[in-house]
Structure formats: C-alpha cells, structure tokens
Amino acid sequence: MILEAVMLNVRKGMEQEYEEAFKGASTIISSMNGYISHELQRCLEVEGKYLLLVNWETLEDHTVGFRQSIEYQEWKKLLHHFYEPFPSVEHFEKVD
C-alpha cells in the first residue's frame, strides 16, 4: 500500500467553496482502480491549510492510473484553481 500525502493551501476566503467542491471530487477519486481510501483534514492553526491523505494499492495506481486518466481532468477542473501555491505530492510506504 502507498500513502499519497499532500499539503494543500487554499486561497483565502475560498475554504467553504473548496470543501464543497472536494466532496464532489471525492466521488471521482474513490472510483479509480487501485484506490483504497482518502481523507481531507483541515488545519486548526492555519486558515486555509489542509492535508489530503490517499491510500493506493500501488504507486502506479496514482501516478499513471489516476493522473493520466480522463477522470483526473475533471478532478483538476473542480479543485486546482483553489490552490495557492500549487501543492507538491509525496508518496510513502509503511516501514516494517
């Protein structure tokens, strides 16, 4: 299992609109092959800061299967205009 971790900074004043858009976008990501689960967490100390955690079966399920899909284009359309600056994505694996 691979954990995708993304720190998201949403443009000031757009937090509520972002959270609503994310609810809709969640149906997109959850329908993808290799998707296991996801959660979006709101930072308590910094307004507009969120943490997105997505569990995938493999790295390629995210980087190829999702990122190179038609569904990803809809995901981008719904969410990417909220981010400032644009986030970087990191992937992690569990240490035994």
DSSP for residue 95: -
Q: Is residue 2 part of a domain?
A: no
Q: Is residue 25 part of a domain?
A: yes
**What is the pLDDT at residue 42?**
98
Q: Is residue 62 part of a domain?
A: yes
Write down the pTM of the prediction.
0.95
Contact between 81 and 24 (Cβ < 8 Å): no
In this structure, what is the dihedral angle of CA atoms 80, 81, 82, 86, given to the nearest 10 degrees? 60
Domain that holds residue 67: 11-86
**What is the pLDDT at residue 41?**
98
The number of distinct structural domains making up the chain is 1
Q: Is residue 38 part of a domain?
A: yes
Q: Is residue 37 part of a domain?
A: yes
**What is the pLDDT at residue 44?**
98
Q: Is residue 79 part of a domain?
A: yes
CATH code for the domain in which residue 39 is found? 3.30.70.100
**What is the pLDDT at residue 23?**
98
Q: Is residue 95 part of a domain?
A: no
**Residue 51: in which H helix or E strand, if any?**
strand 49-56
Beta strands 2-9 and 89-93: pairing type?
A: antiparallel
Picking from 60, 63, 81, 84, the residue whose alpha carbon sits closest to that of residue 72 is: 63
CA angle in degrees (0–180, nearest 5) for 5-6-12: 155
What tens-digit pLDDT sequence spans the chain (96 residues)? 999 999 999 999 999 999 999 999 999 999 999 999 999 999 999 999 999 999 999 999 999 999 999 999 999 999 999 999 999 999 999 999
